[in-house]
Amino acid sequence: MSRKPQNASDDLDVVVSVSHTSDETYLAMVWQEFFLSRGRGLTLGAHFPWISGTDPSGVFVTLARGGKVVGGLALIDRSSAMSKEAGRVAAIGLVVVRPDMRGRGYSGLLLKRAIDLAKESNYVGLTLWTSKHAVYSPYGFELADEAVFGTVRNASPAAEETSILVRCRHEDDDRSIYPGIPPFARDMARIRHRTCALVVLSDGKDDMLAETEGPLSEVADALTSLMPRHWMLNSTRGSPLLGELESRGLQLDMQASHLQMWMSLVPGVAASDLAAKGHFSVLDRI
Ligand SMILES: CC(C)(COP(=O)(O)OP(=O)(O)OC[C@H]1O[C@@H](n2cnc3c(N)ncnc32)[C@H](O)[C@@H]1OP(=O)(O)O)[C@@H](O)C(=O)NCCC(=O)NCCS
């Protein structure tokens, strides 16, 4: 068992710092933990284009012990995913502590610094995506997730049985709008169809709808005619798209994602209030 001081700041040689530039040792830990050890990943920049420090809203909190970086996290503005009146929010992600330094409360020191920083920067809330809720709940994060995820089956698809990315990408993909792709994905295309647009991801096995733009009936037409027999859908609970697809005979099997946590930084505002004002897609996650 590793040592765990009652208060991790008792470790006198521990320094927590904040920078707009990402530390090389931290980046190597991120690559090892979230990609290499899970047998996935293109390059860090392909998944998180802001990670090199080019996005001014991106901040890295790192923890050094004895002068060596042993942990860190990233914080990035995600206000664009909120309703206009909701105020500014930031997302936390890529929280990692070097394996031999775990269990000492270091992730807590990183999170506390990130929370203080968000308060100083007048954010109204912080959000993150995790299946490890116990790591974050002691600091005030609550599960408040509006996302649903599941499979769509089309018994008689109009499209041939190949990936929509293979069929559409060369003529339609717009690489100028590149938000980065989630760690599990290998490929992304923005596909235009009549007056709507779709963002589709692939993990090498399945096509996965990430975002849509345009009139609902046009989007449903595009999905019914372009997607293969079986595909994955990321959406929001109660989204009209779900009913629209079902009314066209597609079979949906959706489940709550249970990944997004929220922390309100404003007294009187609940985490669920912030969640209800968010319109996050899978591309906003870090
Ligand atoms: C998760 C991680 C950052 C925790 O760092 P840490 O410094 O060891 O964590 P702490 O010592 O501050 O532990 C804080 C609490 O988190 C919880 N926790 C730690 N690791 C956990 C894990 N892998 N799963 C679930 N809960 C965990 C524990 O409840 C712990 O509290 P307790 O032991 O006092 O009950 C670290 O284990 C890590 O780098 N893991 C790999 C990367 C990762 O999974 N990051 C989080 C992705 S969302």
Residue 135 shares a structural domain with residue 237: no
Residue 209 shares a structural domain with residue 270: no
Residue 177 shares a structural domain with residue 138: no
Residue-range definition of the domain harbouring residue 45: 8-144+258-284
With 70 as the cut, is the pLDDT of residue 11 above it? no
Give domain status of residue 84, yes or no: yes
Using CA positions, which residue lies closest to atom 12 of ligand 1?
105
Q: pLDDT tens digits, residue range 188-235?
A: 888 888 999 999 999 999 999 999 999 999 999 999 989 989 999 999
Residue 155 shares a structural domain with residue 246: yes
Residue 120 shares a structural domain with residue 151: no
Closest ligand 1 atom to 4 CA:
11
Length of the chain counted residue by residue: 286
What pTM was estimated for this model as a whole? 0.91
Give domain status of residue 2, yes or no: no
Closest ligand 1 atom to 138 CA:
15
The per-residue pLDDT for 7 is 52
Report how far ligand 1's centroid is from the alpha carbon of 244 (Å): 41
Q: Considering its fold, how many domains does the chain have in total?
A: 2
Residue 182 shares a structural domain with residue 46: no
Report how far ligand 1's centroid is from the alpha carbon of 242 (Å): 36
Residue 226 shares a structural domain with residue 277: no
Give domain status of residue 210, yes or no: yes
Give domain status of residue 57, yes or no: yes
With 60 as the cut, is the pLDDT of residue 10 above it? no
Single-letter code of the amino acid located at 161: E
Report how far ligand 1's centroid is from the alpha carbon of 95 (Å): 9
Q: pLDDT tens digits, residue range 144-156?
A: 999 999 999 998 8
Give domain status of residue 1, yes or no: no
Residue 125 shares a structural domain with residue 45: yes
Closest CA to 204 of 230, 233, 177, 184: 184
Residue 113 shares a structural domain with residue 192: no
> Domain holding 26: CATH number?
3.40.630.30
Give domain status of residue 3, yes or no: no
